[in-house]
Amino acid sequence: MKRTVELGKWRVGLFSQEPLLAALGATDRNTLLGMGSRRTYQAGDRIMTQGATEDFVLALSSGWTTVSADSDNGRSVIFGLCGPHDLVGELAIFDGGPRSANVTALTNVSAQLLTRSQFQSFLRKHPHAYEAVLRGMAIRLRAADIHSQDLATLPVLRRLARLLLDVDGKDPRAAAAARLTQNELAAAIGATRESVAKALADLRSRDVLRTLDRRIVVIDRPALAAIAAL
């Protein structure tokens, strides 16, 4: 069984979160996406920086971003991807604190930038949207707790296998995740690049996956699931 948090129609894994705006009605969502000012970012751009004090939230309309955090030992951990109809930076809007994570453009990104006052005004006028955003945030936090448990208890090969099961699929989020480099795969499972390279070589030797155009292609999904022990 896939390691996810399920709550109602929401289904959350490291790379399979429901976008926070997906629960909004079309009218509320279009109203939100029509507010603020348009912003565009190129692949590789740092959009938000951990520890920064900023006063805005972004509603993504196209493209994909990675959400990561830097630890005291200098290593980075990727928590997940955000894409179309996702919000980024909402936590700091609610508590007024500094950014808890880095947000980096994985592809070219288009978004609406809303100031704290604009976003809070929208939520006050749309109570159903307020509930949906809080619900989505709670589910993200639950998923992050499960991910932290996996990082602390599972060997690298099993962590990588679980990640690759999420990457392998037809969902647009999975296609975006397939762009991750070995360094980013390592950051997503809390491992070193060297250990990820070794695990990938192991899986290739077992004919579980192959690399095509610098992307990982899963050949034997049942075998990968067995390694992941899901």
pLDDT in tens, 171-198: 666 666 667 788 888 888 888 899 999 9
What do you get for the CA distance between the two ends of the chain, in Å? 5
Give the residue numbers spanning the domain of 23: 5-151
Of 151, 166, 198, the last residue of a domain is: 151
Q: Whole-prediction pTM value?
A: 0.74
Residue 203's SS3 state is: helix
Rounded to the nearest integer, the mean pLDDT of the chain is 81
Q: How far apart are CA 115 and CA 36, in angstroms?
A: 7
- pLDDT at 15 > cutoff 70: no
pLDDT at 132: 82
Q: Specify whether 41 is located in the same domain as 138.
A: yes
Residue in the structure block whose two tokens are 């390691």: 3
Among the listed ranges 72-81, 129-138, 220-229, which one has the minimum average pLDDT value?
A: 72-81
CATH number at residue 168: 1.10.10.10
Q: How far apart are CA 154 and CA 174, in angstroms?
A: 22
**Overall average pLDDT of the 138-158 stretch:** 76
Model pLDDT for residues 41-95, shown as the tens digit of each residue = 999 999 999 999 998 999 998 988 888 888 777 777 787 788 888 889 988 888 8
Model confidence at 4, pLDDT cuts 50, 70, 90, reads very low
Structure tokens at 175: 């296609």
Structural domains in the chain (count): 2
Q: Specify whether 11 is located in the same domain as 124.
A: yes
Q: How far apart are CA 160 and CA 188, in angstroms?
A: 9
Residue in the structure block whose two tokens are 């006052």: 117
* CB distance 17 to 80 below 8 Å: yes
Of 130, 151, 172, the last residue of a domain is: 151
